[in-house]
Each structure stands twice: as C-alpha cells, then as structure tokens.
Amino acid sequence: MAIEARGVDPATATAPLITPPQADRAVAQGNGRFATFRSLRHRNYRLIWIGTLFSSSGQWIQQTSLGWLTYDMTGSAFLLGAVNGFRSLPLLVLGPVGGVAADRYDKKKLMLTTQMFMVAISVVFATLIVTGHVHVWHIFAFTLLSGVGWAFNMPVRQSIVPNLVPREDMMNAMALNSAAFNVTRIVGPTLAGIMIAKMGPGENFFVQSAMYIGVSITIVQLALPKFQTATNRSMRGGLAEGAKYVWHHPTLRTQMTMALVPVVIALPYVSLLPIVAKENLGKGAGGFGVLMSAPGIGAVASTLLLATLGDIQRKGLLLMAAIFAFGITLMAFAASVSIVNSYPLAIVLLVVAGACQMVFMTTNQTVMQLTTPDEFRGRVMGIFMLNQGLLPLGSLFGGTLAQFTNAQTALGVMGLSVTLLAVAFGLFAKSVRTL
C-alpha cells in the first residue's frame, strides 16, 4: 500500500476515530463526578486498562525477580547489566516489525497469541527454577524471548486505544494507562521482594504467569470494532512505508524525535541514583529505595491530574512546557545534591521530575495517537516503542559521563541537554507548538 496510491497526505492526515456506541458515549459523559476515571465507563477500554494492571504487575515482578536471581546465581554486576540489556534488545530490533504486524493482522488474535506465548515461557522458566535445573543461559534465553513477546504485543495494545474511546476522552484514557503502569511500578517491586523472601524467585514467575493469564482473559472478552488495515503484504514494504509516513509528516516527525532523543540524553537519570544516594547524600539501601520511588509518586500524581483535566487544549504548549520543566528540574536536582546535599529537597525534586516526565510522555503519545490514521497507527507505535530499546544506550551514556566527571555533573548535562532540546523545538517546531 503506497501512501500516494491511497491519497493520504502525511502532512495533513488525522485519525478518523471509530467511537463507542452512542449509548456508551452518553454514559461516559456522565455528570462530571467521576471525571478522573470516565474512560473506564467504556467496556472495551476498561478491559484493556484492567489488562494493563495485570500486565504491568507481571512485568515488574519479572524484572525484580530476574535481577535478584541473576545476581544470586552469578554475583556479577556485569551479567546483571547484560540481562537488563537483553530485555531491551528485541524492542530495539523488532519493535517496528511488531508495528507492521499490528497494522496487517487481526489485532485481538495477535494480542492473545503473544500473551499466551509469554504465559508459556514464564511457566517453563519457573519450572526450571523450582526444580533446580536453571542455568545462567536460561535467564538470558527467557529474557530475550520475553522481549520478543513484548515487541509484538505493545504496539498492537497501544494502537487500539483511540478506537475504544471518543476523541475527547483520549487524554484521559492515555493518562489512566500511564497511571496504571506507574502504580504497579511502585507496588510491583515491593510485592516481588516480599514474595522472594517468603517463597523464592521461582514461585514469582508462576505468579507472573497467572498475571498474564488474567490479561488473556480480558482480551478474550474484547469486542473490537472493525479496523482499517494496511494492504501492503510485504514486511519490508510495510516497514519502509511506516518510516516514510512518519518522516514526511511534520508533526509526527517532531514528536518522534522528542520521544526518542530524551531517552538517550536524559530519561536514564535514574541509573545514577545509586551513586547520588551513596556518594552525595550518604544514604544506604533504604534511602536509595526512597529516591527510586520518588519519580513514580510524581508520575502517578501527574497522570491522575491529566486524567481529571481531560481534553486539554493547546496540547503542543503543554508538551513543550513539560519537557522544558523536566530539564530544569534535573539541573536543579544536580545542583541540590552537589551544593545543598539536602535529602528531603532531593526527594521533592525527583517527585517533580517524575511528574514532568510523565506529563510530557503522556501528552506526546496522546497527540501521536490522535494524529495517526488507523492503517498506520501500529507502525507508528512500533517506531515509538524504540524508546524502550534505547534505554540501555541512555544508561550507558549517563554512566560514561559520570565515570569521567561525576554523577551531579552528568545529571546537570542531561538536564541542560533536554532543556535546550525543548527550547529548539519550541522555537522551530510550529506544527507541534500550535496543536
């Protein structure tokens, strides 16, 4: 399917949304008393959101348990980092391919197939652990296969959201998705740690399997509308077509840059928090844990606020302001740990950083979804998912910078870089600024 053949102008195309039935929409509008959670009144979106809670919980349980198991078996910090890298590698390589699949195949079947694949590999891996047959290479194989599953699952889950709620509820829906992820980001590792202590890491992966079965149950119950799909049957052609569409669409091109570049130059600031906690603030593991939780608290608070505010006008200005504020906050955090050495101030600034980061990411993804028509949305989300694959590269950048300078200097450079990026786009990206 060539863009020109279908008469789609990437510079002006917007998504023709398929909205829920009229009765469902009337209920969704309600009387404003439950504005924060109004998207949950749409049955299909509610099922997807519940699935997100299960899925994210399983992810955090897996990440925490894998880290513990790897270090417990090997005692190697290098292998621990390598496992984290393996988790992101498939998203970097296969994310766009998953986007092509999302645009070409039945979305419900694709979600269910990938989910059951992840259930199967989790059960096998858990069995290897509890029977004492697990080896280090099993950890890497499981991590890699999990990444493959997510590379095909995440683009399709993201791409259907605009078809489950009316256009005016999109910001609310995306904010609630982010809130679900960040709530489990706070609770999931804590529960995983308790379960490791009480049962062991192997049992944790059985729990993860149960979580993924819960996701599968919600998918089975979905009654999705008919989607406009891509007709290009070539995988390579589909990839090229998606990339061409994003490149020739001025708004999407800018948004994609804003989604991917900060992942390398700023968002991995959390990887430097162990150094800050120990060297600058003189805190141990407990203090470090609080620092790690602080951005998550800000993220949950900001996404719930966005959900309450709903269809915010001038989303482009909000997007620019959020990423600018994020950069300023990172620089303030760097200065605070370098000059003031105040632990409470550091926590407050990390809460603000997490809030700004999530406002920026949620707003960017909302506008991206609303801008993209159905037949390209999977591929656009597949390219967007590269941000997950780029995280290890960003952590390497931050760690290298800290190694040759120090943590606070690296944080300051990260903050300054993303601030300058926001200023540049604010000045020159009129297509986004005027949204």
CB 95 within 8 A of CB 386: yes
The chain-wide mean pLDDT, for the chain, equals 82
Predicted local confidence at residue 149, as pLDDT: 92
Predicted local confidence at residue 50, as pLDDT: 93
Q: Which region among 2-11, 72-81, 219-228 has the lowest average model confidence (pLDDT)?
A: 2-11
pLDDT band at 198 (very low <50, low <70, confident <90, very high): confident
Place of tokens 């001038």: 314
List, for residues 352-403, the tens digit of each pLDDT value.
999 999 998 888 888 888 888 888 888 888 888 887 778 777 777 787 888 8
The two tokens of residue 78 are 């290098």
What are the contacts of 173-177 at 24+ separation with CB within 8 A?
173/39, 173/45, 174/362, 174/365, 174/366, 174/369, 175/303, 175/304, 175/306, 175/307, 175/362, 175/366, 176/37, 176/39, 176/40, 176/49, 176/303, 176/307, 177/49, 177/52
Q: How many residues does the chain have?
A: 435
List, for residues 78-120, the tens digit of each pLDDT value.
777 677 777 788 888 888 888 888 888 888 999 999 999 999 9
Residue type, 81: G
Predicted local confidence at residue 34, as pLDDT: 60
- The domains located in the chain, with CATH, are 18-229 (1.20.1250.20), 235-435 (1.20.1250.20)
Hey, what's the torsion of the CAs at 305, 308, 309, 310, to 10 degrees?
Answer: 120
List the Cα angle 247/324/430 in 5-degree steps: 40
pLDDT band at 24 (very low <50, low <70, confident <90, very high): very low
Residue 26 in 3-state DSSP?
helix
CB 383 within 8 A of CB 247: no
CB 339 within 8 A of CB 395: no
pLDDT at 128 over 90: yes
For the chain, what percent of residues have pLDDT higher than 90?
22
Average pLDDT over residues 297-320: 83
List, for residues 31-67, the tens digit of each pLDDT value.
444 678 889 999 999 999 999 999 988 888 888 788 7
* Model pTM score: 0.78
Residue 104 in 3-state DSSP?
helix
List, for residues 164-186, the tens digit of each pLDDT value.
888 888 888 888 988 888 888 77
Q: Which of 296, 302, 310 is nearest to 36 (CA)?
A: 310
Q: How many other CB atoms sit within 10 Å of the CB of residue 75? A: 9
For the chain, what percent of residues have pLDDT higher than 70?
89
- DSSP symbol at 14: -
pLDDT band at 350 (very low <50, low <70, confident <90, very high): very high
- DSSP symbol at 290: H
Q: Which of 25, 215, 51 is nearest to 119 (CA)?
A: 215
Predicted local confidence at residue 8, as pLDDT: 45
CA distances from 342 to 9, 119, 346, 352, 380 (A): 53, 45, 6, 16, 42
pLDDT at 17 over 50: no
Place of tokens 């621990």: 80
Predicted local confidence at residue 23, as pLDDT: 38
CA distances from 33 to 37, 39, 304, 352 (A): 9, 13, 14, 27
Predicted local confidence at residue 2, as pLDDT: 38
List, for residues 237-278, the tens digit of each pLDDT value.
888 888 888 888 888 888 888 888 888 888 878 878 878 888
What are the contacts of 205-209 at 24+ separation with CB within 8 A?
205/62, 205/65, 205/122, 205/123, 205/125, 205/126, 205/129, 206/122, 206/123, 206/126, 207/58, 207/61, 208/58, 208/61, 208/62, 208/65, 208/122, 208/126, 209/58, 209/119, 209/122, 209/123, 209/126
- DSSP symbol at 312: -
Residue 294 in 3-state DSSP?
helix
List, for residues 285-298, the tens digit of each pLDDT value.
677 777 877 888 89
